[in-house]
Amino acid sequence: MSATRPATAFIGVGTMMEAMIDKAIAAGWPREKLLPTHRRADRRAELAQRYGLPVGDDNLAAATSAELVVVGVRPQEMPGLLQELAPAFRPSHVLLSIAAGLTVEWLQARLPAGTTVIRVTPPPTAWVSAGVTLFSASEGVTADQRATVEALVEGTCERIEWVPDALMEPITGVALGLTPYTCMVLKTLIETGVEQGCDEAFIRRMVADGLRATAKLLSEGGFQPEQVIEMVATRQGLTWSALHTMEVRGVFAGIRAGARAMTGRSYELRGETVPDDHMGFLR
Ligand SMILES: NC(=O)c1ccc[n+]([C@@H]2O[C@H](COP(=O)([O-])OP(=O)(O)OC[C@H]3O[C@@H](n4cnc5c(N)ncnc54)[C@H](OP(=O)(O)O)[C@@H]3O)[C@@H](O)[C@H]2O)c1
């Protein structure tokens, strides 16, 4: 890759990749360097209208014209797509994959030998430029290549972390999965309030306020989760009874199994055997 902002193909622009394009444009990435494609005409028209960009239907042509090729299809569709794109790859090309669960090694095995592969996991909060974007990369990735992909995603997050590829799923399963897990907890709490006679709009606001206050306690107050629990859950008190009931009902064991299940599912998506301790999602 020769330039800080090289011609960049975006193959299969779905929800997550659209956030990347949106934020790249906002960060000043020149529109003429962005080469998005989509297989559906209605989606091409929608993206072209929204971002003022030509959107192609020829994945191979876009990848050939680019130096950085971003792939954002679902993991199950990736084998077919990589087979289609492989002839485009020259030694200067870099593949940037946002597909969950597909390791650098798995991706490299489907491209010409020696292709530089970088994986990126943007946070589910990318649309509001919040959270942490994770990267991992094949051996030999250069400082320039790192700087380029960092520049591409800088608008999608507050911080970037480079992590060993083997830890991408464990970290995602805990720290990025936290957003949907928390939303599930909030939804359950709102429903519980309504069941007990609370006005829905009122209890939604209360729950949102409680979440914001908790985040402040942890991020600005410097408290650790264990300290907050210790502070508020007096033994035999009301909060203690709530947490004790959840523990007895297996809520926390379920969360542990669920967070590991993300890693387990990634083995499955790669066609590998799922280790026993990551089988939570199958039981
Ligand atoms: N959503 C998240 O928060 C998140 C976070 C981190 C990583 N990811 C990863 O990001 C990837 C995309 O997720 P998403 O939520 O953005 O999914 P999505 O909205 O379904 O996007 C995938 C897009 O790829 C298109 N596509 C599929 N095969 C294609 C092909 N051969 N050529 C061109 N386009 C093709 C699909 O078109 P159709 O609409 O016609 O099917 C769809 O628009 C996944 O691999 C996921 O693991 C997602």
> Are 12 and 38 within 8 A, CB to CB?
yes
- Give Cβ neighbours of residue 235 (< 8 Å, ≥ 6 apart): none
| pLDDT single digits (tens) 205-245 | 999 999 999 999 999 999 999 999 999 999 889 999 999 99
Q: Does residue 269 belong to any structural domain of this protein?
A: no
Domain co-membership, 123 together with 204: no
Domain final position from 164, 185, 217:
164
**Ligand 1 atom, smallest distance to 124 CA:** 3
Instruction: State the CATH number of the domain containing residue 213.
Output: 1.10.3730.10
Residue 2: what pLDDT?
54
User: Nearest C-alpha to atom 20 of ligand 1 is from which residue?
Assistant: 14
Longest dimension (CA), the chain: 66
| pLDDT single digits (tens) 53-69 | 999 999 999 999 999 99
* Strand spans (E) along the chain: 8-11, 34-37, 68-71, 94-97, 116-121, 132-137, 159-162
Residue 123: what pLDDT?
93
Q: Residue 148 C-alpha to ligand 1 middle, in angstroms?
A: 22
Residue 29: what pLDDT?
87
**Ligand 1 atom, smallest distance to 81 CA:** 31
Q: Which of 21, 71, 18, 272 is nearest to 169 (CA)?
A: 272
Count structural domains, the chain.
2
Residue 3: what pLDDT?
60
First to last CA, the chain: 45
Tell me the percentage of the chain whose pLDDT exceeds 90. Answer: 81
Domain co-membership, 56 together with 89: yes
Tell me the percentage of the chain whose pLDDT exceeds 70. Answer: 97
Q: Does residue 271 belong to any structural domain of this protein?
A: no
Q: Does residue 1 belong to any structural domain of this protein?
A: no
Domain co-membership, 207 together with 155: no
Residue 275: what pLDDT?
79
Average pLDDT value for the chain: 93
Q: Which of 140, 145, 86, 88 is nearest to 120 (CA)?
A: 145
Q: Is 193 in the pocket of ligand 1 (CB under 6 A)?
A: no
Q: Does residue 170 belong to any structural domain of this protein?
A: no
What is the average per-residue pLDDT within 114-134? 94
Q: Does residue 133 belong to any structural domain of this protein?
A: yes
pLDDT over 90 at 150, yes or no = yes
* CA distances (Å), origin 28, targets 16, 21, 22, 95: 19, 11, 10, 22
Instruction: State the CATH number of the domain containing residue 72.
Output: 3.40.50.720
